[in-house]
Amino acid sequence: MNRTYELMFIVRPDMTDEDLDKLISTLQSAVPASLGTVKSVEKMGKRRLAYTVRRFNDGIYVLMIVEGGGAAIHELERRLRVTEPVIKFLTVRVDEEQKRLEKIKKLRDAKKKVSGQPAPSAEEGAAVPAAETPASA
């Protein structure tokens, strides 16, 4: 399974740093059991929430990138639901989106390398002259 998920969750603001680390390691330990790997964890710091969630106005945001199947996310979300300090979470599947962005980046890099034209036109339009130049040469 090579699905990539971004899991962002908000923790109540009165958590200490070490409690937060403990929580994150507990969550991380749940992942390998369901055939997944945690690629990265990023603590995004305390932020003011746009609306009140469970009577909190601030929260500590944590972003976790997980690779694995749906079972890994299912397990993680189950744990997040019962964990008391976590007040909100959101999971987004990002592998398709990343594939699309990679493709666009590749197209753009190829366009820059092949054509020396100063004014880049639209991508589809640029792919055609890029393909035509070797044919005409």
Partner 1 sequence: MADETRAPEPAASSERPRSEGGRPGGDRPRFGGPGRGPGGPGREGGPGGRKFFRRKKVCKFCVEKIEDINYKDYRLLGQFVAESGKIVPRRLTGVCAPHQHRLSSAIKQARNIALLPFAGRAS
What is the binding site for partner 1 (CB under 8 A)? 8, 10, 47-51, 53, 59, 63, 88-90, 92, 100-101, 104, 108
CA terminus-to-terminus distance, the chain:
44
Name the minimum Å distance from CB 93 to partner 1.
11
User: 85 in helix, strand or coil?
Assistant: coil
Name the minimum Å distance from CB 87 to partner 1.
9
Nearer to partner 1, 34 or 85 (CB): 85
Cα–Cα distance, 31 to 39 (Å, whole number): 11
Nearer to partner 1, 1 or 101 (CB): 101
Contact residues for 78 (Cβ-Cβ < 8 A; gap 6+): none
